[in-house]
Structure 1
Amino acid sequence: MKTLLISLLATGLLLTSCATSSRIQALKPEPGNTTDVVYQKSTSFISLPVSIAVADLETQTNKFVTGLVYEDNNIKDDDVTLKVWKTAPIKFSEKNGRLQIIIPIKVNGNVRYGTTTMGIDLHDTREFNLAANITFDSSIGLRNWQMTTDTKLQNLEWTESPSITVAGKKIPITYLINPTIKLFKTRIEDELDNAIKQSVDFKPQVLDALETLSKPFLTSEQYETWFQLMPEELYVTDAKLNKKQITMNMGLKCTMETTVGQAPKAVLKKDAVVLKAVSSMPEKVSAVVAAVSTYQSASAIITKNFQGQEFGDGKRKVTIQKVDLWSKDGKMIVALEMMGSITGTIYLSGIPNYNAVTKEIYFDQMDYVLDTKSALMRTANWMASGIILKKIQENCRYSIQANLEEGKKSMLPYLNNYSPMAGVFVNGTLDDFEFDKVTLTDNAIIAFIKGSGKINLKVDGMK
């Protein structure tokens, strides 16, 4: 009797359960076979205002102009031989936007004086030593990757007027020395222009920097995310001199790619990079940061969103136990494992999007997968209600705020007095990021975010 009672009770519970709960059978949309995804290329301009201290130009020029700067050993052509040395460091200054250059010199020479009478040579030769300060005036320019100057002698100040002593008397020889100044002044002008050109040759440094920048680097080992900057053209404005600084704007036209999967190949051809002269340059720098979320991590976050919530109408309610995500044909598949009036898994599809206010990824145009909707109409058409779907959709979202902050944080060290080489410093600011695009791969959701800012490059204390 007792056994019969238990059997009847179990049967009643089973019948009651069947009356209040049903199991849904829906076909699972299989994940797509998305291969590596490359973000669609877009052109970016990186502006680099460059400033070089006149003091650094002075330091570098002094390295090239040393010791003997002019020598003339032929006395027959003009009755004078000369050797000209730099005796102290060259001094640079700025005046009315032009470069003023002062070179202290020492001159050692021989002067021939006298006459020839009836075929008899009555000439005598005397050695002389004198010192002077020569002032040059120079304009600043830029040509073929190198700083150029057009230097002209402006003034020569003799410390002592050129003269020789004959029979105890000083005889001025300025009339002999001054014409020779034309000879060595041109030599020194050329020496200065050549030294400045060699001192500030941008090409090797710029091309080496571009080669380094263009090498793909791994931004996330876990998600196999690669970033690559590909230079296309380099621009530069005219060099200007003001307040002891030589300034110019350099700019890089490039494309930026974020790739998920295998490492892309470096494509820079240094010999093909051309420096183009332009009149102006945009100030802003644009950059793209990829906020990467695996489906596993996103699923865990969304599952938490559903905890403690019921969805339904009256006595017919369900709770979501687990959420799984994957991609198929460019859309997000959301699998909801539920219990309650309906038990089983239903499948929704939607298009990922971004809410700039809450900084969240959400799924737009969400609807039941066709087979799921058919199954719901057969077993529990109340679940197909748009009201319930909307409530479910509200919970299918997750924040990427941490990703954005991490992306911005990773760039800041390169904008705070960053020194890639001795005497070169990079500083800048980075504005907030703006959403650009969401891309689905076979194992991750990638939100591409654009950032902008300003960068300046300063040469100060160059060795």
Structure 2
Amino acid sequence: MKSAFFTVSLFYTFFILVSCGTTNKIEALRPSPSNDAPIVFKNKTSFVTMPITISLSEIEHQLNKKLSGLIYNDSLINDDKTEMKIWKTAPILLSEKDGNIVSVIPLKIWAKFKYGTDFLGLYDTREISLNGTITLNSTPQLTNWKLTTKSKIEDFAWSDSPTILVAGKKIPITYIINPTMRIFKEKIAKKIDNAIDRTCDFKPHVLNVIEKLSVPFMTSERYESWFKMVPIELYVTEAKLSKSKITMEMGLKCNMQTMVGQQPKNGFDASKITLKPVSSIPEKTTASVVAVSTYESASSIVTKNFQGQEFGSGSRKITVQKVALWHKDGKIVIALDVLGSINGTLYLVGIPNYNAISKEIYFDQLEYVINTKSILIKSANWLMQETILSKIQENCRYSIIPNLEEGKQSLKPYLTNYSPMKGVFVNGVLNDFEFEKVELTDKAIIAFITTSGKLKIKVDGME
């Protein structure tokens, strides 16, 4: 009797010790309470090279849209003894010649001149009417996204003979005005330059394009992933005019992120973007992408890996109902809620790693702990057989790289004649993603990936 009592006591003592040890280990695996602090990580900046082409026809379109009717009005005659009005009578035509802009501008000019002497206030005025087409040769310069020109009038082609108003009658003065056109040339050219300066400021359009490209968009419904670009600095070279196109190199310094879960906010702020002029820009785009996966999102995806699968040996089988992941002491804890021959929770603890062949994040050096309502802990040893455990481990994978590959396909529409706004077109190509490393925070698994490629932006036909 004493022997039987001793045996039962020893059994329960062993059971309690094992249970207490397991409970303590499970307690150590449980996550700390979460907070609402944002996920913080260090991200390498990316540099996106974007050559920009602005067609001369686009500048012509913008110039004609902004300049119509009366384009210049100087109603003060006492400052320089000249009063002048200039009307544009037909569309301006632009062309390129030896790197300069040639403008053909149909104009009507009315001018009043005050002449005489200060002595006794003896003054008289004369009105002159000019109607014809002016040809200007302009040296262009695009600085800080603003087109400026320095123009010289090359030719006048009169549609009507220049006249002067005398005693209420218009008297032709072509033979007089042609030799004296130098009086008008500098003033008219300057007014046209000022009009171009006011009209051809492309900076707001460029920032608008960058803002459109900064809007987070979904790259994969399956993985609930979003791509986000955060601009930091914008670089631009001097513009060159050739073959009726203005070309320049633009470089965008930015951060790139892939977020898994809810749609991230667009943090674009045009006032915080620095614009810097540079002499040259590297041809190659280098992108360092951060893939951020919250543990909640990772848990949801890994749970899907176990759907419809049974694990076991003979008549003893289990199914995984739910998976939860969290970070603990530099490792990942994977909690599997199971039903079947065992009802309880299986805990796997491991370190995230990367499989270059399958392009997956997996959990290496897995250890296990069981919390179960079964009578004896050791009765679940069958579950830890090498073949069963390896099958379970195979499903404990979180596929970030295939997610990005799918995201790459989703990016194609944004790299193939993508038009974020009317008259602006983006084209480009991205190379394969290359894995760098995985880091853990208390809220997320963060994978660092790099890629390279090229982008081009064409401006033609904006409203």
- SS of the residue 1:37 aligns to: coil
Q: Which residue of 2 aligns with 1:290?
A: 291
Q: State the shift of 1:59 in Å.
A: 1.7
**Is residue 50 from structure 1 mapped to residue 52 from structure 2 by the alignment?**
yes
Letter matched to residue 178 of structure 1 = P
Q: How many residues align?
A: 420
Is the CA contact (8 Å cut-off) linking 1:318 and 1:338 kept in structure 2?
Answer: no
Give the counterpart of 1:101 among 82, 98, 103. 103
Unaligned runs of 5+ in 1: 1-17, 113-120, 372-377
Q: Which residue of 1 is the match for residue 333 of structure 2?
A: 333
Q: Which residue of 2 aligns with 1:351?
A: 351
CA distance in 1, matches of 2:278, 2:381: 67
Cα distance in structure 1, aligned partners of 2:108 and 2:343: 101
Measure the CA separation in 1 of the matches of 2:88 and 2:192: 12
The structure 1 residue matched to 2:39, chosen from 37, 40, 44, is 37
Asked if structure 2 preserves the Cα contact closer than 8 Å seen for 1:336 and 1:346, the reply is yes
1:94 positional shift: 0.9
Alpha carbon RMSD of aligned pairs, Å? Answer: 5.3
TM-aligned CA distance change 1:445 to 1:133, over 3 Å: same
What are the Cα deviations for residues 149-189 of structure 1, in whole angstroms up to 9, with x where unaligned?
2222233345687689x9xxx9975445432x233222322
2:77 and 2:342 map into 1 onto residues whose CA distance is 113
- Choose from 72, 87, 90 the match for 2:89: 87
Cα distance in structure 2, aligned partners of 1:175 and 1:141: 36
Q: Which residue of 1 aligns with 2:64?
A: 62
Report 1 or 2 for greater relative contact order, CA contacts < 8 Å, sequence distance ≥ 6.
1
Q: Secondary structure at the match of 1:38?
A: coil
Please state how far the C-alpha of 1:277 moved relative to its aligned partner.
0.4
Q: 1:428 to 1:224 in 2, by over 3 A?
A: closer
Q: Say if 1:39 and 1:259, in contact at 8 Å, map to a contact too.
A: no
Cα separation, partners in 2 of 1:230 and 1:394, compared to 1, 3 Å: closer
For the 8 Å contact 1:31–1:326, the answer to whether it is kept is no
Percent identical residues: 48
CA distance in 2, matches of 1:397, 1:77: 81
Q: CA deviation at 1:93?
A: 0.4
Q: 1:380 to 1:144 in 2, by over 3 A?
A: closer
Change (3 A) 1:175 1:223: same
Q: Which residue identity lines up with residue 331 of structure 1 in the other structure? A: K
Work out whether residues 298 and 398 of structure 2, in 8 Å CA contact, stay in contact via their aligned partners in 1: no
> So what's the TM-score if we normalise by structure 2?
0.68
Judged with a 3 Å threshold, the aligned counterparts in structure 2 of structure 1 residues 346 and 318 are, in CA distance, closer, same or farther, namely farther
* Deviates most, 223-232 or 239-248: 223-232
Question: Superposition pairs for residues 387-426 of structure 1, below 5 Å?
Answer: 396-397=396-397, 399-400=399-400, 403-426=403-426
Report the alpha carbon displacement of residue 52 of structure 1 after superposing the two structures with TM: 1.4
* Residues 227 and 257 in structure 1, CA contact (< 8 A), matched pair in contact too: yes
> Tell me, what secondary structure is at the counterpart of 1:232?
strand
Which residue does the alignment assign to 2:3? none
Q: Does residue 237 of structure 1 match 2:237? A: yes
Distance 1:411 1:81 in 2: 58
Rounded Cα–Cα distance in structure 2 between residues aligned with 1:246 and 1:40: 38
Q: Give, in whole Å, the separation in 2 of the partners of 1:342 and 1:78.
A: 100
Conserved 8 A contact 2:99-2:242? yes
Equivalent residue letter for 1:89: P
CA offsets per residue over residues 82-119 of structure 1, 9 Å max, x none? 7654332211001122211112334567999xxxxxxx
Residues 285 and 308 (structure 1 numbering): CA distance in 2 closer, same or farther, change over 3 Å?
same
> Quick check: 2:163–2:174 contact (8 Å CA) kept in 1?
yes
Contact 1:39–1:257 (Cα < 8 Å) also in 2: no
Alignment match, 2:5: none
Please tell me whether the aligned partners of residues 320 and 336 of structure 1 are also in contact (alpha carbons under 8 angstroms). Answer: no
Q: CA 1:196–1:125 in 2, change beyond 3 Å: closer, same or farther?
A: closer
TM-score, normalised relative to structure 1: 0.68
Contact 2:213–2:420 (8 Å) recurs in 1: no
Q: Contact between 2:53 and 2:248, CA under 8 Å: does it hold in 1?
A: yes
- Find the partner of 2:305 among 296, 301, 315: 301
Q: Aligned partners of 2:161 and 2:203: how far apart in 1?
A: 45
Q: C-alpha distance in 1, partners of 2:49/2:436?
A: 21
Q: Which residue identity does 1:93 align to in structure 2?
A: S
Q: Aligned in 2, Cα 1:81/1:176: closer, same or farther, shift over 3 Å?
A: farther
Aligned to 2:278: 278
Whether 2:141 is the aligned partner of 1:141: answer yes
Change (3 A) 1:210 1:73: closer
What is the alpha-carbon distance in structure 2 between the residues aligned to residue 441 and residue 77 of structure 1? 71
| Residues 56 and 260 (structure 1), Cα distance of their counterparts in 2 relative to 1, 3 Å cut | closer
> Does the CA-based 8 Å contact 1:424-1:458 persist in structure 2?
yes
Greater alpha carbon shift after TM alignment, 357-366 vs 341-350: 341-350
SS of the residue corresponding to residue 57 of structure 1 reads helix
Unaligned residue ranges in structure 2 (runs of 5+): 1-10, 115-121, 372-377
Change over 3 Å in CA distance of 1:333–1:75 after alignment to 2: closer
Please tell me the residue identity of whatever aligns with 1:297. I
Decide which moves more: 359-368 or 338-347: 338-347
- Within a 5 Å distance, the mapping from 1:207-286 to structure 2 comes to 207-210=207-210, 228-257=228-257, 269-282=269-282, 283-284=284-285, 286=287
Which amino acid is the alignment partner of residue 39 of structure 2?
Answer: V
- 1:129–1:406 CA distance, 2 compared to 1 (3 A): same
